[in-house]
Amino acid sequence: MTELSKWAPSDMLEPVRRFLDGDLSMTPSMKVEQFQDGTTLVVRAEVPGIDPDKDVDVSVSDGMLHIRAEREEKSEHKSKNGYRSEFRYGSFSRSIALPAGAKEEDITATYKDGVLEVRAPAPATATAEASKKIRVDRG
């Protein structure tokens, strides 16, 4: 099949593949991984092909980290046979709960090789005190 405008039978399976990958929404979203590095929450978002100075917004509100990126299609490809692209363009966003005690001023973000990394340190939790039994009185 040489025409770009025709679909192959496997193309019809793309929505199923996205569903099985956990992409349940029709709204574009970015893929992220998050993990703890000591007491720091590390969130890595896959956002290749963007300019971090103008296409990314990282913000904090109500104990949530919000990451928003926008990717615009900049190349033009015209053909008498059509055009096909599986790239995702538009706005992508994710919100992730911050660890208790994380402060906005301590959060940092870096962008390298198509990956945005946000680090949100949280204070070490106080050592659990020995439990103390509370007496229950009969009323």
What backbone torsions phi and psi does residue 10 show, to the nearest 5 degrees? -65, -25
How would you list the strands of the sheet with 90-97, edge to edge? 56-61, 64-71, 90-97
pLDDT score, position 5: 40
pLDDT of residue 73: 62
pTM above 0.75, yes or no: no
Give the pLDDT confidence of 39-69 residue by residue, as tens digits. 999 999 998 888 899 999 999 999 999 999 9
Choices 1.10.260.40, 3.50.30.10, 2.30.30.100, 2.60.40.790: CATH for 28-121: 2.60.40.790
CA distances to 57, 87, 127 from 15, in Å: 28, 14, 48
pLDDT digits (tens, 9 = 90+) for 60-111: 999 999 999 988 765 566 677 777 666 667 788 899 999 888 999 999 999 9
- pLDDT-derived band at 123 (thresholds 50, 70, 90) equals confident
Give the whole-angstrom CA distance, residue 69 versus residue 94: 9
